Amino acid sequence: MIAVLGEALVDLLPAGRPATYRARPGGSPANVALGLGRLGEKVHFYGGLARDEWGRWIGDRLREAGVLAHGPFTDAPTPIARVEMRAAGEADYRFYLRGTAFEAAPWPEVDAGVAALHAGSLAAALEPAAGEVWSRIEATDAFVSFDPNVRPGLTPGSFREVFWNRREKFDLLKLSNADLDWLAAAEDRAAALARLRRRVPWVVLTLGAAGAVGFYGRHEVHAPAPAVRVVDTVGAGDAFAAGLLAWARRAGVLAGAGLDRADLEKALNCAGWVAGLTLERAGADPPTRTELATSGGNVCEA
């Protein structure tokens, strides 16, 4: 079982006319949990969930994917991210978190016997959620996957110190070029990446349309992005993370198996294809295992 810790919210996506939006369930960790569930993994989600109509909608969607949501459940409203699309389908976000389910605490304890714990995004950077997330990361002996998913202007500068001081807890770190640049601050990107690789066994850097590069031990593999028709980029990084974790579980990596160069390439290709199918849809709408098999053959076979 994979435990996912973090925020669940509603994305308000542009609906094609000025000042009109359509609502879609979102939140980076909730998207990862959804993606894992749709890929056939056993998943438990921990994070604030509202009892309002939107919160029930998010919960129902997770449940339909086989994800068990633990809450905490609250009468506070569902948090919102308003999405503005830039050129090439890239998204900017404005978040509304104060006084919402994002701030619900305390969280339930993670079930014993988890194979992996995935966390990151705003819940790892903003209190009170951050205290809940990091206490569980510090306490676990399971495989830890982390995606910082930095939001400039909202992620506090103090998160840099938290991240660098605790990076040794990560077994898998997935981050984007933009994340790395923000976390590195004045440090050269290459130097920051080298510093990460000295402490984190498996690092994956996503490069947008240029694909992704993975590092494991002495192995370095670049995987190009699949050729897809991009509708928007919302949720693509989260789908990539779900693809990595699903592949890792099937390959035995969560149970301690290492990766050779061929394994690393397979993992990146699987994650890239899961993300690619998500890019072809509006909002965070990752594929099911059946859809993946139909469109990509055996690309995600471990």
Place of tokens 């859809």: 291
Return the percent helix, strand and coil in the chain, to nearest 5. 40, 25, 35
What count of other Cβ atoms lies within 10 Å of the Cβ of residue 94?
13
- Cβ atoms of 181 and 208 closer than 8 Å: no
Q: Tell me 2's DSSP state.
A: E
Q: Which token pair is 254?
A: 């969560």
Q: Which token pair is 143?
A: 């495989």
Catalytic residue from among 147, 171, 179, 238: 238
Maximum C-alpha span of the chain: 51
Q: Which residues contact 254 (CB under 8 A, 6 or more apart)?
A: 2, 115, 116, 142, 143, 245, 248
What count of other Cβ atoms lies within 10 Å of the Cβ of residue 17?
7
Phi, psi of 201, deg, nearest 5: -60, -40
**Cα distance between residue 48 and residue 103, in whole Å:** 7
**Cα distance between residue 117 and residue 170, in whole Å:** 10
**Active-site residue 238, yes or no?**
yes
Q: Tell me the pairing of strands 9-14 and 80-85.
A: parallel
- Cβ atoms of 164 and 176 closer than 8 Å: no
What's the CA dihedral at 120, 282, 43, 164 to 10 degrees? -10
**Cα distance between residue 23 and residue 21, in whole Å:** 7
Q: How many CA atoms lie within 13 A of 46 on its CB side?
A: 25
Identity (one letter) of the amino acid at 136? R
- List, by residue number, the catalytic residues: 238
